[in-house]
Structure 1
Amino acid sequence: MIPPTKTKMKKWGLLMLLIFLLKIQQKAIVKAEDEFITIKGVQFWLNGGPFYANGFNSYWLMYEGSDPNTRHKVSDAFKEASDHGLTIARTWAFSDGGYRPLQYSPGLYNQQMFQGLDFVVTEAKKYGIKLILSLVNNYEDFGGKKQYVEWGKSKGQSLSSEDDFFTNPVVKDFYKNHIKTVLTRVNSMNGVAYKDDTTIMAWELMNEPRCTSDLSGKILQDWITEMASYLKSIDANHLLEIGLEGFYGNDNKQYNPNNLQEGTDFIANNQIHGIDFATVHSYPDQWLSGSTGEQQLSFHQKWVQQHISDTQNILRKPLIFAEFGKSYKLSSYTPSDRNQFYNITYSSIYSSASEGGPTAGGLFWQLLAKKMDNYRDGYDIVLGEDSYITGMISEQSQKLSKLRKKYRN
């Protein structure tokens, strides 16, 4: 072998130094992206700048992740999402009682199902997706507050309403134990406790909490206050949101669909200490049954703008449109209406974000991987199946990504 010249050795050394510096830079970027998302004013903050992101809901991730034969659906969904610029996923960290539950009974957990959630968290990190994990359901699907009340009855508690979930000390202790169990769970696949895992963006107290037995809102206000304080005593690093749909209390019920009240108060609930950001859901095709597509779009436009305005001027916190959709299974559906519905949502989000406002992103309901027809609920989106809606989703991801980079440069 001919010995290398000094010039070649110098070039080789410079090349190795450049590679070394690039690796350091890459590690710094990864480390920064692995930080906890925080709040600065009305914005999410990550890596020295505002955090904006397009996202989706997939409630089924833990369930499919718990079976090695179906785990590929989780991976496929995350890959499709990542390929289209989606970086936040909202999903269930609950399944109480019933078939293949996470929690068989108070404090008794199904380790196979927990390992499914471990897989979801690990796989999300692999694809650069942050998670919002919801801790219990308002509805009886996957157990919810009804199952907790039934457990309370089995322990000798005299309970007559599902809303006793919010007030009975025994039932509240069951739920607090679930909070602690999930937050302190050590992931069997990466050895990191959930409360220390930066892949998780935020916790959600309940999916769409409602307390119709007390339209004054006091019961739910007290419950949120107690549970926010308890959760933050275990995990002060992660963000916390309630899971609200956005219904106003009595003072502003005129903004609600058909003036309905659900015992929630978008303003008062989100002002509770420990609640880091606000959420809004939007399903005018459900809320305004019998209405025309045009009426639903008009309501949605006002609903979105009202919440952006109130979050900006009153709450002074970030805002995420955590669920929205339009079902193709309802008689009033037209593809044009759905496209306009998405356009209203996305353009309102981007307009707020680009002006330094509180709105950071939207999470459509719901993303499915291919060949998941049993999960089709009318609101489902399979990326690539409808080129127009897929294009809208990708474009929104790109616009928010560029905005994020703009503020960082």
Structure 2
Amino acid sequence: MQLSALACLLSLYALPLLCEATTVPQKNSKVPPGFVTTKGKEFELDGKPFAFVGANSYWLPLLTSQSDVDATLESMKQAGVKVLRTWGFNAINETELQGALETNLTYYQACTPISSFQWLLNDGPQGLQRLDNVIASASKHDIKVIVAFTNNWYGSDLYVNWIAGAGQPHDVFFTDSRIIASYQSYVKTIVERYKNSSAIFAWELMNEARCVSDTLPAGPACVPGSNTLKTWYEEQSNFVRSLDANHLITTGGEGQFFWEHPLQYWFNHTLVSDYNYNGQAGEDFDHDTLLSNIDFGSYHMYPQSWYPELDHPGSNFTIESWGLEWIDQHIHAANKANKPLILEEFGVSGLQNKTTIYPSWVQRALDTKHATIVHRSIMPWQWGQLGLTEDGGNRPIKYSDAIVDGASPNDGNTFYPNQTQVWDIFTRAAKIQNARSG
């Protein structure tokens, strides 16, 4: 184990924030060979269209067996996957360090009690070297990687608790200068580690940023119209661009809207303003996507879990039709921004639901309309791998604050090769996308 202490913030001048810069950093107009770029609404690779079906696997860097990592990426390659999305973070509290060492848990940061502004970076064989190995294996299998810097649901709240202290709302992550400096310090570590690698498809600022998390509430500074997340997206995308002028950058958001006249629905005899459209989540997909250093739009889709109060027998709500509208709305917004679009996560639970719903969602997401060549890309959540060797494939993994059973965890949305009808949906889509590529 190799640990190096990094001071996240000793003064407000230790790591200047990009919002104070007088000029906005720009992406290189000519990137090195092998780097993905954009041209209007298209992704390109070495001057040719790059359309793809991707895979989500947050758990790959958590594996301790390199042969299992290689086997998973080989399976992805055989299925036609061109892009992998994974976590570039796994932080723990200092009190968890001993347990992490005993269980061989992958971790990249550990909070230290020395200072509330300090964390330890683990760049050794139990730390970032495992992410190195995933990216190297992806490159060997001709798969590009989207790397997320942190997570709304547990990673970011560690920063809040470490630095701002107990009793603070979740959204101080986006506004507290000390927290932003700490985040940027870690981001700089990751970007500089891989900035010259053509295996990186894009940097992702945060997985599913919202005003609220699952452990901390939103504060009064993060409300519809406050532009808290948009400001943070702008500042952090500019910061990443200042470090790396070649790779693509995206938000990693779920794609919620802030419409002047948000959609509503009836529930329990009451007309309810829809959270996904009224700005309460904090995102404003139409305008966030326009930011100069956000290179493409990303959005997620889980209507089954987002609308449990409507998804019941006798309701006129259907998961399938809601998803089709959500896809169309994001296509419209991305077209207005003249930027590519990725349906970066989507899922439903239940094998029958997957079999009946996914074909229409995938078809709609990949459709080309009005003679405009737009090869939109999809990344279902999440990839399931059979035949892993760690503890017979049943090695428990600590994920967030819970123990997840199985080296390739099944969260209900996971799909596996032996689920033939579902598997075929995505392998067929991959063939279509690969045929559209140069």
Q: What TM-score, normalized by structure 2, do the two folds share? A: 0.75
Letter of the structure 1 residue corresponding to residue 377 of structure 2: G
Q: What's 1:218 paired with? A: 227
State the Cα deviation string for residues 117-147 of structure 1 (Å, max 9, x = none): 000000001111110000000011xxx1110
Q: What's 1:263 paired with? A: 282
Contact kept, 8 Å, 2:32 with 2:246, in 1: the verdict is no
Q: Give 1:174 deviation, angstroms.
A: 0.2
Q: Secondary structure at the match of 1:320?
A: strand
Q: Secondary structure at the match of 1:184?
A: helix
Q: 2:411 aligns with which of 377, 382, 394?
A: 377
Q: Give 1:250 deviation, angstroms.
A: 3.9
Q: Secondary structure at the match of 2:305?
A: helix
Q: Secondary structure at the match of 1:251?
A: coil
Structure 2 matches for 1:140-155, cutoff 5 A? 140=154, 144-153=155-164
Letter of the structure 1 residue corresponding to residue 354 of structure 2: R
Q: What's 2:76 paired with? A: 81
Contact kept, 8 Å, 1:149 with 1:159, in 2: the verdict is no
Letter of the structure 1 residue corresponding to residue 141 of structure 2: Y
Structure number with bigger Rg: 1
Change (3 A) 1:353 1:178: farther
Q: What's 2:199 paired with? A: 199
Bigger Cα displacement from structure 2, 40-49 vs 257-266: 257-266
Q: What's 1:174 paired with? A: 182
Q: Give 1:353 deviation, angstroms.
A: 8.1
Contact kept, 8 Å, 1:217 with 1:265, in 2: the verdict is no
Q: What's 2:120 paired with? A: 108
- Looking at structure 2, the residues matched to 271 and 345 of structure 1 have their Cα atoms a distance apart, in angstroms, of 25
Q: Give 1:269 deviation, angstroms.
A: 1.2
Contact kept, 8 Å, 2:50 with 2:436, in 1: the verdict is no
Contact kept, 8 Å, 1:152 with 1:159, in 2: the verdict is no
Q: Give 1:163 deviation, angstroms.
A: 1.1
Structure 2 unpaired stretches of 5+: 1-30, 94-99, 112-117, 212-217, 266-271, 387-392, 395-404
Q: What's 1:22 paired with? A: none
Q: What's 2:381 paired with? A: 365
Q: What's 1:346 paired with? A: 362
Q: What's 1:45 paired with? A: 44
Contact kept, 8 Å, 1:316 with 1:358, in 2: the verdict is no
Letter of the structure 2 residue corresponding to residue 86 of structure 1: V
State the Cα deviation string for residues 36-86 of structure 1 (Å, max 9, x = none): 11111111111322110011100011111xx2xx22222121111111101
Higher helix share: 1
Q: Give 1:356 deviation, angstroms.
A: 3.7
Contact kept, 8 Å, 1:247 with 1:253, in 2: the verdict is no
**RMSD of aligned alpha carbons:** 2.3
Bigger Cα displacement from structure 2, 354-363 vs 243-252: 354-363
Q: Secondary structure at the match of 2:256?
A: coil
- Looking at structure 2, the residues matched to 73 and 377 of structure 1 have their Cα atoms a distance apart, in angstroms, of 20
Letter of the structure 2 residue corresponding to residue 49 of structure 1: K
What count of residue pairs does the alignment treat as equivalent?
348
Q: What's 1:138 paired with? A: 152
Change (3 A) 1:229 1:159: farther
Bigger Cα displacement from structure 2, 281-290 vs 207-216: 207-216
- Looking at structure 2, the residues matched to 48 and 250 of structure 1 have their Cα atoms a distance apart, in angstroms, of 36
Q: What's 1:318 paired with? A: 340
Change (3 A) 1:310 1:151: same
- Looking at structure 2, the residues matched to 199 and 316 of structure 1 have their Cα atoms a distance apart, in angstroms, of 25
Q: Give 1:251 deviation, angstroms.
A: 2.1
Letter of the structure 2 residue corresponding to residue 147 of structure 1: L
- Looking at structure 2, the residues matched to 92 and 305 of structure 1 have their Cα atoms a distance apart, in angstroms, of 28
Q: Give 1:349 deviation, angstroms.
A: 2.6
Q: Are 1:96 and 2:91 counterparts?
A: yes
State the Cα deviation string for residues 351-403 of structure 1 (Å, max 9, x = none): 138944445310011112113562111011122x1111111111101111112
Letter of the structure 1 residue corresponding to residue 347 of structure 2: G
Structure 2 matches for 1:268-279, cutoff 5 A? 268-279=287-298
Q: Are 1:403 and 2:431 counterparts?
A: no
Structure 1 unpaired stretches of 5+: 1-31, 186-193, 329-333
Change (3 A) 1:133 1:353: farther
- Looking at structure 2, the residues matched to 179 and 164 of structure 1 have their Cα atoms a distance apart, in angstroms, of 18
Letter of the structure 2 residue corresponding to residue 120 of structure 1: V
Contact kept, 8 Å, 1:258 with 1:288, in 2: the verdict is no
- Looking at structure 1, the residues matched to 33 and 163 of structure 2 have their Cα atoms a distance apart, in angstroms, of 40
Q: Secondary structure at the match of 1:253?
A: coil
- Looking at structure 2, the residues matched to 341 and 56 of structure 1 have their Cα atoms a distance apart, in angstroms, of 18
- Looking at structure 1, the residues matched to 367 and 226 of structure 2 have their Cα atoms a distance apart, in angstroms, of 32
State the Cα deviation string for residues 332-356 of structure 1 (Å, max 9, x = none): xx61x32232112221232138944
Change (3 A) 1:45 1:149: same
Change (3 A) 1:270 1:262: same
Q: Give 1:34 deviation, angstroms.
A: 5.3
Contact kept, 8 Å, 1:279 with 1:320, in 2: the verdict is yes
Q: What's 1:309 paired with? A: 332
- Looking at structure 2, the residues matched to 252 and 228 of structure 1 have their Cα atoms a distance apart, in angstroms, of 29
Letter of the structure 2 residue corresponding to residue 121 of structure 1: I
Q: Secondary structure at the match of 1:237?
A: coil
Letter of the structure 2 residue corresponding to residue 204 of structure 1: E
Q: What's 2:320 paired with? A: 297
Letter of the structure 1 residue corresponding to residue 196 of structure 2: D
Letter of the structure 1 residue corresponding to residue 173 of structure 2: F
Q: Are 1:239 and 2:239 counterparts?
A: no
Letter of the structure 1 residue corresponding to residue 383 of structure 2: L
Contact kept, 8 Å, 2:164 with 2:179, in 1: the verdict is no
